[in-house]
Amino acid sequence: MDSVAESSKNRKRLREEEEEEQQQEEIEAEETSSTDQTPSLVDSLTFSDTMVAVRIMRAQFPHIDKVSIQPFILHSQLYSSVKDRTQVDRELESLRREKVLRVFKLNTGQDDHAIMFLDDYLIQVDRAVKRMEEKKLRNLEVFEWFKTQVIDNKQDPSIDHQELCLLLSHGGKVKDEHISLLINAGLLVLMESMGQY
């Protein structure tokens, strides 16, 4: 009788072990299928040499209380930090199209560009508006037009006068005073030789 009871216990234990193994296999199969569908955090983030260099340089930008300029990086600085210039240009173009960065032509006489995060540039625009408000100037609506019509729709480093007026006109009637306000705020620089800003 003891042998029958032992045999029955052994069969029960074997069945339980088989059920546990089967459950474990099902759990592992579910985990594998869910991880196959969901990319890992590392796979979903793209770390480009250019973006890393821009972030490092931005972090090193001096913060001076009385100066209201947001951090920017020179294109030539990036070239000296990242080995492959073609890669830098390709990645900058991609980041510019994705509206992560803005690229500006400098009016220094040299062929260099400034690079700024779009968020920093928008902060720069807001600070310019506050300075103009303190001076109690009129026609400040042009700054909102500039943000919503020009910055959103034009990612190139320069813009000609006609295109600028056309984009601004989507916000309202554009006057020469509006353009002058943008120039005085430091948001546009007239490139005299080209008739562009």
pLDDT in tens, 73-85: 999 888 988 889 9
Residue 162 maps to a domain: yes
Token code pair at residue 39: 């990319």
More confident call, 140 vs 87: 87
* Residue 34, φ and ψ in degrees, nearest 5: -75, -35
Q: What is the pTM of this model?
A: 0.69
Find the range with the poorest average confidence among 14-18, 123-127, 185-189. Answer: 14-18
Residues 163 and 196 in one domain: yes
- The count of structural domains within the chain is 3
Residues 95 and 151 in one domain: no
Helices (H), the chain: 2-37, 41-44, 49-59, 75-81, 85-97, 118-134, 141-145, 152-153, 161-169, 176-184
Q: Which residues contact 148 (CB under 8 A, 6 or more apart)?
A: 171
Token code pair at residue 160: 């000609």
- pLDDT digits over 132-172, tens only? 888 877 777 888 888 888 888 888 888 888 888 888 888 77
Any idea which residue has 């007026």 for tokens? Answer: 165
Residues 141 and 105 in one domain: no
Residue 124 maps to a domain: no
Q: Which residues contact 174 (CB under 8 A, 6 or more apart)?
A: 142, 145, 165, 168
More confident call, 49 vs 115: 115
More confident call, 40 vs 49: 49
Residue 160 maps to a domain: yes
Residue 104 maps to a domain: yes
More confident call, 73 vs 26: 73
Domain region containing 88 = 46-118
pLDDT at 50 over 90: no
Q: How far is CA 33 from the centre of its chain?
A: 32
